[in-house]
Structure 1
């Protein structure tokens, strides 16, 4: 497989073209963020309103920082796989090639992020559970961190997908390890022999368990950070009419999910940026 080029190796014309999306950032941002969340109350509103306004400004600023072409470019979100591995349905999302590597169009990435963030915000506003899925070991921490950053109910699944985790969850997730500081994230035992064992608690000092999943209710939205490793999860989600947001690298089929985000799914910084953005959108729904 060809090695992905560093940003410095990209021609300046390509870099500048990809950065044109920054001028459209204000248009792409949600109305709350574009307006800077200016307070409508007068100075006599009191310290409580001031504190709430400060919290809102902080959330909006965080989202603004993440939702930018420059940030995506710095994170390496534009670097796809070898051009020879490019999926035919990703052609429209690829800007071109450089050194045999597909270069993802970050304007498309930014638009897809805006759409996905809006979906996540709507689900959270309705009290739905957002489930983050990342079964590649390097991405485990990102999925768990994104889930913990969201208000409850939330969840993450970070091992090989167990068949029936959604469609037969009453049995598959019967044995679970509750995380004390976050009762809405539970750990499922992947081995079939352990499924009939009674639940047990986990010592807070122990290392994070191998897998986590939502136990008590179906998620209203699934966010997949490594699509090609979780096709079974996609099929189960489709069977239950659960919408899916997924990062789609240049070798993925974006038609598999309702809300594909064209971006590099191998870079920790790229995946982390996108996961953080979606988590921020979920938090916004609880703030406003």
Structure 2
């Protein structure tokens, strides 16, 4: 169970001004104070626990999540959490077509891996100016696709911080039928989000609390997945026996062996008697 008092300390229940709210978020708003909407923290806790169970179940079957959050408050937190659970992430810029045109994005990933090898292994064959140009290209590619090098397409779901800022990513995922788990504030339209976490998406403490909880549930699922794979590896493989039907129709009767052929030496040619 989540500690509601701890959640209140993170400021997860603070929304935006009442004049900038989205009516679709009405079910998750508890009230307002000083013209600021307050989110119903009990509903946030219930939905977060439900999402935690989903992430645990998906990762126990080997599923992979894609973390998305390009706002400054979320960048270091997402990078740390995604790195800890060994999952792909996007923290600098969402490249258009990352999901809908993944084949082209994969070419950029291949280019990045190639340039890494060139700089590390073949640096002596290039001039200083050429190496500087290669390093600049590597830095640009690292910002765009560095976090999704190990992305196995399609991901099981997207985990998004601030749907309003990451609208392009949500649209692509919705068009492809990929579920979206997202932190949604009171001023955001939750359309396209499969699993809503009503919360303050501007506070670093609130973002860290939500992602730390999801990280813990993902690790539980990964542990179960590793245990299941270990059990499967220990199980002995039983050789399948094949039976051939006998001429009489008895399936399990031993097969009759054909008698060995007898080969006779050829007779010498007949010689005519000389008269």
Shorter-chain TM range is 0.5 to 0.7
Alignment partner, residue 72 of structure 1: 7
Superposed, which structure 2 residues align to 1:183-222 within 5 Å? 199-201=114-116, 209-211=142-144, 212-213=147-148, 214-222=150-158
Give the whole-Å Cα distance in 2 for the aligned partners of 1:283 and 1:222: 17
Gaps of 5+ in 2: 121-137, 225-275
Give the whole-Å Cα distance in 1 for the aligned partners of 2:223 and 2:152: 25
DSSP 3-state at the match of 2:188? coil
Give the whole-Å Cα distance in 1 for the aligned partners of 2:61 and 2:112: 34
Give the whole-Å Cα distance in 2 for the aligned partners of 1:77 and 1:144: 21
Give the whole-Å Cα distance in 2 for the aligned partners of 1:254 and 1:95: 17
Give the whole-Å Cα distance in 2 for the aligned partners of 1:174 and 1:140: 25
- 1:108 counterpart = 2:43: yes
Deviation string for 1:124-162 (max 9, x for gaps)?
111111111001122111111111121x4x111112211
Which of 105, 129, 133 is equivalent to 2:64?
A: 129
Which of 230, 240, 243 is equivalent to 2:179?
A: 243
**Paired residues of 2:62 and 2:222 also in contact (CA < 8 A):** no
Change (3 A) 1:255 1:216: closer
Shift of 1:197: 7.1
- 1:156 counterpart = 2:92: no
- 1:261 counterpart = 2:197: yes
The RMSD of aligned alpha carbons is: 2.4
Shift of 1:266: 0.2
Deviation string for 1:219-240 (max 9, x for gaps)?
1111001211111111111122
Bigger radius of gyration among the two = 2
Give the whole-Å Cα distance in 1 for the aligned partners of 2:178 and 2:192: 13
Give the whole-Å Cα distance in 2 for the aligned partners of 1:258 and 1:145: 24
Change (3 A) 1:197 1:279: closer
Deviation string for 1:84-115 (max 9, x for gaps)?
11110111111111111000010110011011
> Which range moves more in the overlay, 121-130 or 260-269?
121-130
> How many residue pairs were aligned?
202
Alignment partner, residue 221 of structure 2: 285
Give the whole-Å Cα distance in 2 for the aligned partners of 1:115 and 1:158: 25
Alignment partner, residue 108 of structure 2: 175
DSSP 3-state at the match of 2:182? strand
Which of 62, 82, 100 is equivalent to 1:147?
A: 82
TM-score by length of 2: 0.68
Alignment partner, residue 9 of structure 1: none
Alignment partner, residue 3 of structure 1: none
Give the whole-Å Cα distance in 2 for the aligned partners of 1:156 and 1:251: 25
**Paired residues of 1:225 and 1:247 also in contact (CA < 8 A):** yes
DSSP 3-state at the match of 1:176? helix
DSSP 3-state at the match of 2:210? helix
Change (3 A) 1:207 1:274: farther
List structure 1 segments (4+ residues) > 6 angstroms apart after TM superposition. Answer: none
Alignment partner, residue 266 of structure 2: none
